[in-house]
């Protein structure tokens, strides 16, 4: 409902009541006199129906009751036109109804039709005018049939007013529910995007820092043992530490600055696999690298291959037999791009210990799945193998 219509809605019932009062008095060519009592009462009830539905209905019932008991002018004097206010009354009363139970409104509509029927047949002059003089001589059955027709007609009119308002209420409620659902959906979608972005950065940071810190730790531990006996190796180890730390810092800065936007700067890819293998070899773990058919990879595939190989080698470096090294094979096959990283577990181990963050192997599986592929791990004795297929 538009704001303009919402602003005009409180004035709808009073304007409808006033309009009906003027229109019906013009049609009946009447003035404000005692014969207009029922008309004035019913149009007043219409004017107040949406604001105070229960008092308005009670007021209308009182007017109909006064007419039935002869306090208000009979139907012959007041005419039948005031009763057209009743469907309008139930329309606005239904719009303004705040109670959870809705059944009193249709019951009241049918009851009002019964009161109108009583008023019609209580006024002999009016009923003879409508149905003819023969009604006074008709059988009780015919009178009952005529009474039922009058009752059914007014019931249908009153219930039509109630049903129309109920449909309007339901349409407004559906529209509001739809708008709320769309608002919640937009909010949820925004939260999901933020969460996905956080998970992406967390996964990238894990891969970057886990590898770099493993290399730095290994080199630092090596310096402790060789700085006296082989001082010439200290500078080489220090260069590896500086290079790894610098690379991790650049990657971390790139990821943090990219939050909520596209990544800035080039992401690592398969072209850096030899440098990755060289850093690990300088830290004491031989890496045998075999690559073929890597031309034409998309940026997502290029990064996925690099990260899976990086994480697999980092796990092998941290938890496996470093001296046995690792064999990396990346090749194009008919099924797609196959990655296979084979290493040996440390002596006495039969399975790869999980990383402290829990993002190692699960993170690799997420990357493979996001690229449309799959990743599996196999442990056979001390042999540990990571295999991924990227279509």
**Between residues 353 and 314, which one has the greater pLDDT?**
314
Read off the pLDDT of residues 188-227 as tens digits, 9 standing for 90 and up.
877 777 676 667 667 766 666 666 677 777 667 667 666 6
Instruction: Look at residue 323 and give its three-state secondary structure.
Output: coil
Residue 310 CA to residue 275 CA, distance in Å, equals 11
CA neighbor of 79 nearest in space, from 113, 47, 44, 38: 38
| pLDDT range class, residue 88, cuts 50, 70, 90 | very high
Q: Which residues on adjacent β-strands are paired with residue 378? A: 385
Q: In this predicted model, what pLDDT tens digit does every residue of 155-166 receive, in sequence order?
A: 999 999 999 999
343 compared with 252, residue with greater pLDDT: 343
The Cα–Cα gap between 123 and 129 comes to 10
Top-confidence residue, 251 or 293: 293
From residue 181, alpha-carbon distances to 6, 32, 58, 178, 189 in Å are 21, 52, 38, 5, 12
| Residues sharing a CB contact under 8 Å with residue 125, sequence separation 6 or more, in sequence order | 74, 76
How is the chain split among helix, strand and coil, in percent rounded to 5? 70, 10, 20
Contact between 28 and 81 under an 8 Å Cβ cutoff? The reply is: yes
Tally DSSP H helices, then E strands, for the chain: 13, 5
Q: How confident is the model at residue 264 (pLDDT cuts 50, 70, 90)?
A: low
Pair of tokens at residue 53: 């539905």
Give the position of tokens 């809705």: 102
Return the pLDDT at 355: 44
- Most confident of the ranges 44-53, 121-130, 262-271, 343-352: 44-53
Q: Write down the pLDDT at residue 9.
A: 66
Q: What is the pLDDT of residues 12-51, one digit of tens each?
A: 888 888 888 888 888 777 777 778 888 889 889 999 888 8
For residue 366, the model assigns a pLDDT of 81
Output the pLDDT for position 152. Answer: 94
Between residues 259 and 22, the one the model is more confident about: 22
Kindly indicate the confidence band of residue 311, based on its pLDDT and cuts at 50, 70 and 90. confident
The winner for highest mean pLDDT among 194-198, 220-224, 251-255, 378-382 is 378-382
What ranges in 227-298 are assigned the alpha helix state H? 232-257, 273-282
Dihedral class, residue 108 (left if φ above 0, else alpha if ψ from -120 to 50, else beta): alpha
Q: Could you tell me which residue, 299 or 224, shows the higher pLDDT?
A: 299
Average pLDDT, integer, range 375-384: 88
Q: Is the pLDDT of residue 61 over 90?
A: yes
> What token pair was written down for 334?
């008919």
Pairing status of strand 326-333 against strand 287-292: parallel
pLDDT tens for each residue of 319-358:
888 888 899 999 888 888 889 999 988 875 555 544 434 4
Side-chain half-sphere CA neighbours of 108 within 13 A: 27
pLDDT at 314: 83
CB atoms within 10 A of CB 132: 11
* High-pLDDT (> 90) share of the chain, %: 18
State the first-to-last Cα distance of the chain, in angstroms, to the nearest integer: 51
Six-digit token string for 352: 């790869």
Give 277's contacts (C-beta < 8 A, 6+ positions apart): 287, 289, 313, 328
- Report H helices in 1-139: 3-8, 12-28, 37-48, 53-68, 75-78, 85-96, 104-122, 124-131
**The pLDDT value given to residue 265:** 55
As a whole number, mean pLDDT of residues 77-100 equals: 88
% of the chain beyond a pLDDT of 70: 76
Please tell me the least confidently modeled range out of 9-18, 118-127, 355-364, 374-383. Answer: 355-364
Residues 315, 148: Cα–Cα separation, whole Å: 89
pLDDT of residue 234: 66
Angle between the N-to-C axes of helices 104-122 and 53-68, in degrees from 0 to 180, rounded to the nearest 10: 20
In the predicted structure, residue 374 carries a pLDDT above the cut 80: yes
């Amino acid at each position: 409902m538009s704001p303009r219509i919402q602003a005009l809605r409180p004035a709808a019932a009073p304007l409808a009541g006033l309009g009906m009062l003027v229109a019906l008095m013009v049609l009946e060519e009447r003035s404000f006199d005692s014969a207009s009592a029922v008309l004035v009462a019913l149009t007043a009830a219409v004017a107040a129906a949406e604001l105070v539905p229960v008092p308005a209905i009670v007021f209308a019932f009182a007017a109909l009751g006064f007419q039935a008991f002869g306090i208000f002018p009979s139907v012959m004097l007041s005419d039948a036109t005031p009763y057209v206010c009743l469907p309008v009354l139930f329309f606005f009363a239904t719009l303004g109804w705040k109670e959870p139970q809705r059944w009193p409104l249709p019951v009241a509509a049918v009851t009002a039709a019964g009161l109108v029927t009583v008023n019609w047949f209580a006024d002999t002059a009016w009923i003879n005018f409508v149905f003819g003089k023969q009604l006074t001589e008709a059988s009780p059955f015919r009178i009952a049939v005529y009474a039922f027709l009058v009752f059914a007609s007014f019931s249908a009119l009153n219930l039509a007013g109630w049903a129309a308002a109920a449909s309007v209420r339901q349409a407004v409620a559906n529209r509001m529910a739809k708008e709320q659902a769309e608002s919640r959906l937009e909010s949820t979608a925004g939260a999901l995007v933020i969460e996905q972005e956080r998970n992406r950065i967390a996964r990238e940071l894990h891969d970057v820092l886990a590898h770099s810190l493993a290399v730095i730790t290994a080199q630092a531990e090596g310096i402790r043992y060789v700085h006296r006996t082989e001082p010439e190796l200290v500078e080489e180890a220090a260069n590896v530490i500086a290079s790894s730390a610098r690379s991790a810092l650049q990657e971390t800065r790139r990821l943090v600055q990219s939050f909520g936007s596209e990544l800035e700067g080039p992401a690592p890819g398969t072209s850096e696999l030899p440098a990755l293998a060289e850093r690990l070899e300088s830290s004491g773990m031989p890496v045998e690298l075999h690559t073929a058919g890597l031309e034409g990879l998309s940026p997502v595939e290029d990064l996925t291959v690099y990260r899976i190989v990086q994480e697999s080698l980092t796990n092998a470096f941290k938890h496996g037999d470093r001296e046995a090294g690792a064999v990396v094979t990346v090749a194009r096959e008919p099924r797609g791009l196959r990655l296979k990283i084979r290493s040996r577990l440390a002596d006495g181990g039969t399975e790869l210990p999980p990383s402290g963050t829990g993002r190692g192997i699960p993170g690799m599986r997420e990357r493979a799945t996001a690229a449309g592929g799959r990743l599996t791990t196999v442990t056979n004795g001390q042999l540990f193998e990571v295999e991924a297929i990227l279509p």
